[in-house]
Structure 1
């Protein structure tokens, strides 16, 4: 077994372990965490000062983002949601969220806004992007679901484009891992917000 295969197997084992820890949370624990997240996130300057902010609809046992989404709207923020890119396979577009317009499920059964060109918000116009994850470690390394959507989408930002954009992860506290084996395409995060605190990492410019 070569090194790349060992790393991939290790990542998959860790991914399953962290997903199981997330699934083990009770309904009451999930609800409490989602409400705590609102207070913790809204205290962060990257969120409080943002005019245009991208979030996502939580899926399965992910930290429920619905209360935070509503809090952002109530605060007068322009909120965007990710949509699977129709042409660039494996990439995401950010679309302006209109609560009056019904969402549709994508091929992963995740709700997203209907694709309308006037609603597309370029990354250059985003202030803050909040991303999902399966796990994170003390270096800010992010372990996703394995599809690479956010790594591809954030590659330009990671290379120095969109200097105004602040990128932060959202996660349950139990999703912190001791060490995440990294791949060359991984995009580390400057910060991760959980229900109880905001983790900031040394490579961060935030």
Structure 2
């Protein structure tokens, strides 16, 4: 069921807690997927991403390790390693609140859980790369629409980290693509002024190119 037709949820702008309800329902929906469905979606996502020019032309990519039912990009990470591309994982900035560092991720990287119980690399002697120097960022989403609207967890980590892209010409510099299960798509999401625009959203089904 698409949430846009759910009588319990009204469109954004008519109900103050719309995003809270949407996050709750979408997280529940993606957690309900079986291990087999998650694996199938991960392979489908790999097929979607590997056909994108933005992936083929990128040498430095930031990804994430799945949590809370997020679509799993680890097949993409393995492909990057095989192709000689460098991968980076987000790490909570130790000083600046709600911002991220990006640390190189290899098969030998040691991981630990952060305050959100999400695995991230240790910062000890870890090679980092500035956000502006990453070619392509593949980030998780809670919900999205077909035009590039997105809903994250609400912490604003990616928006603050990539705030330097505000006002940039679309397609220039670091590119951001959201990753999600296709079942996380809704009819329409309101775009906030602080939202950093995406190139699009990739799911196991297809790539939705942003038009906003």
Q: Deviations over 1:30-73 (max 9, x none)?
A: 11001111121111111111111111111120001222211111
Pick which of 4-13 and 117-126 moved more. Answer: 4-13
Q: Which residue of 2 aligns with 1:199?
A: 208
Matched, 1:29 2:37: yes
Match of 2:65 in 1: 57
Query: In the alignment, is residue 132 of structure 1 matched against residue 132 of structure 2?
Result: no
Equivalent positions of 1:104-143 (< 5 A) are 104-116=112-124, 119-143=127-151
Alpha-carbon separation, structure 2, partners of 1:10 and 1:199: 23
| Partner SS for 2:17 | helix
SS in 2 for 1:96: strand
Aligned to 1:144: 152
Q: Under a length normalisation based on structure 1, what TM-score does the superposition of the two structures give? A: 0.89
Moved more, 186-195 or 37-46: 186-195
2:198 maps to 1:183: no
Map Cα deviations across residues 106-163 of structure 1 (whole Å, 9 max, x no partner): 1111111111466110123211111111001133111011111112112112332993
Q: 5+ residue gaps in structure 1?
A: none
Please give the secondary structure, in 2, of the residue aligned with 1:104. strand
Rounded to whole Å, the distance in 2 between the matches of 1:150 and 1:197 is 23
Partner of residue 94 from structure 2, selected from 76, 83, 86: 86
Relative to structure 1, is the Cα distance of residues 56 and 75 closer, same or farther in structure 2, using a 3 angstrom cutoff?
same
Deviates more, 1:141-150 or 1:108-117: 108-117
Which secondary structure state, in structure 2, belongs to the residue aligned with residue 119 of structure 1?
A: coil
Find the aligned partners of 1:58 and 1:158 in 2 and give their Cα distance. Answer: 27
Check the 8 A contact 1:142/1:187 in 2, yes or no: no
SS in 2 for 1:109: coil
Structure 1 residues 167 and 7: alpha-carbon distance in aligned structure 2, compared to 1, 3 A threshold: farther
CA-CA distance at 1:97 after TM superposition: 1.2
CA RMSD of aligned residues (A): 2.1
What TM-score comes out, normalization by structure 2 length?
Answer: 0.87
Structure ranking higher in helix proportion = 1
Worse overlay, 110-119 or 22-31: 110-119
Q: Tell me, what secondary structure is at the counterpart of 1:151?
A: helix
